[in-house]
Amino acid sequence: MTEEKSKPESPVSKPFRHLKVGYIRRKTRKSQRGLQHSSLNLNGDWLEAAGFPIGTTVKVLVMQGKLIIQAEG
């Protein structure tokens, strides 16, 4: 049996973040005001500390009432 060496994960300052779902407007041919679509913005130094530096490609697993975001590669 061989042991796999993995680098230890650095602790994240706050494991839970509280955000609010907002909206963006997208104009359509039928409506001058446009339609509202849900929008969630993630930003801050904590993203890089959690393993998401600028340019990271992510995969989002979507479930009812839950999103799981993972770095790819």
Structural domain spans, the chain? 22-71
pLDDT given for residue 12 in this prediction: 82
Q: Which helix (H) or strand (E) holds 25?
A: strand 22-26
Q: For the whole model, what pTM was predicted?
A: 0.70
pLDDT over 60 at 6, yes or no:
no
10 pLDDT tier (thresholds 50, 70, 90): low
Report angle CA 24, 30, 34 to the nearest 5 degrees.
Answer: 15
pLDDT digits (tens, 9 = 90+) for 26-60: 887 777 778 899 999 999 999 999 999 999 999 99
Q: Are strands 35-39 and 58-63 parallel, antiparallel or unpaired?
A: unpaired
Supply the pLDDT for residue 2: 54
Phi, psi of 38 (to 5 degrees): -60, 145
Question: Residue 48's beta-bridge partner residues?
Answer: none
Q: Which residue has the higher pLDDT, 28 or 66?
A: 66
